[in-house]
Homo-oligomer: A and B are copies of this chain.
């Protein structure tokens, strides 16, 4: 029933929406000017979830370019705008997409933020500086939070009617918080990528128990997306059986937690570059859900201001669902130990929040309402 409802929503959206077509301002193949989009009233396009404009920020990078391809392959929308400050990079990615020749695609690229953000209905931003070998996510704090503040300002200025925004540049919890405050959006309209910690935990538990990865369920990480994440596995099931039946030693359990936390830096060691395929894929799946497609049930980073939980004024990973109405969260359930880990993670996030307040990137908590009345 629920799925059918979503399907009807998607179909309705589809029939209401209109077609965008190439308005190619510059005919020369090798030019360095922007290709722009014109929205025309025309027939609908089959095979897409929506026709609304999806903006990919940081599209010239490895994550951004993968998101463009992933969004097309999953049939999200024909109208994708690629934006980056680095012109050759974003132009090159656009060329790659044109060479894929996706049917009915209307992929445009630009280095002009006004062109990029204008009328965007969905946005994914990977437009921060990447993490290098040896760096923690927190090292990136200052530079990337400034970028996030500008990103939020652009949303407020050019696309206040945007429906959902996913922020994936690190440290994602505080960049997303910064973007939320600056954008003026409602809390359910902006999420940050947090799923990879949980998929890494799932992978580690599957390897430990010798089962196919998808047979591990109910094992998640909550709280910060950084190294202070809280691992919740007391309710985990392995092929339907409680994880406790597998008698994992304390030593092995510590190793599993460690490998989950180090999953990202392990990719850097192995590939010589930051992970890009998995963040791109998960971020696009989050936007797909916000467009009314398959619901996203891995944890997402979301704005939490919950007296009952004791977590106030932070973005953090919680048990969440993303659907066409945005992100919804509930309170995590776990052992005393798990809840204590979550509390510690929350406190770490508060510390990072205070740091960006003291840097002047966001106002003091008491003044947030003046920037964003929805908070």
Contact = CB atoms under 8 A, between A and B. Distances in A.
Interface residues of A, number: 62
A281 B105 contact: no
A22 interface: yes
A101 B199 contact: yes
A170 interface: no
Contacts of A255: 28-29
Nearest to A280: B69
A162 to B, nearest CB: 25
A365 interface: no
Interface in A79-131: 88-89, 91-93, 95-101, 103-106
Contacts of A277: 65-66, 69, 93, 96-97, 100
B105 A214 contact: yes
A156 interface: no
Contacts of A203: 29, 95, 98-99, 101
A240 B276 CA distance: 40
A204 B27 CA distance: 8
A207 B24 contact: yes
Given A22-B212, A27-B210, A73-B73, A100 B270 contact: no
A136 interface: no
Q: How many copies does the complex hold?
A: 2
A208 interface: yes
A74 interface: yes
Nearest to A31: B207
Contacts of A282: 99-100
Given A73-B74, A96-B277, A88 B199 contact: no
Interface string A266-294: 11011110011110011000000000000
Contacts of A96: 267, 271, 275-278
A21 interface: yes
A203 B29 CA distance: 9
Nearest to A35: B207
Contacts of A225: none
A69 B65 CA distance: 13
A256 B29 CA distance: 8
A70 interface: yes
A28 B262 CA distance: 14
A363 interface: no
A163 interface: no
Contact of A91 (B66, B74, B259, B270): B270
A323 to B, nearest CB: 18
A306 interface: no
Contacts of A214: 101, 103-105
A197 to B, nearest CB: 9
Contacts of A271: 88-89, 92-93, 96
B204 A29 contact: yes
Contacts of A65: 277
18 contacts: A22-B206, A22-B210, A22-B213, A69-B281, A73-B73, A73-B74, A88-B269, A88-B271, A89-B270, A95-B270, A98-B199, A99-B199, A99-B282, A101-B199, A101-B298, A103-B214, A104-B212, A104-B214
Given A27-B207, A99-B263, 5 more contacts: A22-B213, A24-B206, A27-B210, A65-B277, A95-B270
The 4 closest A-B pairs by CB, nearest first: A92-B270, A92-B271, A99-B278, A29-B259
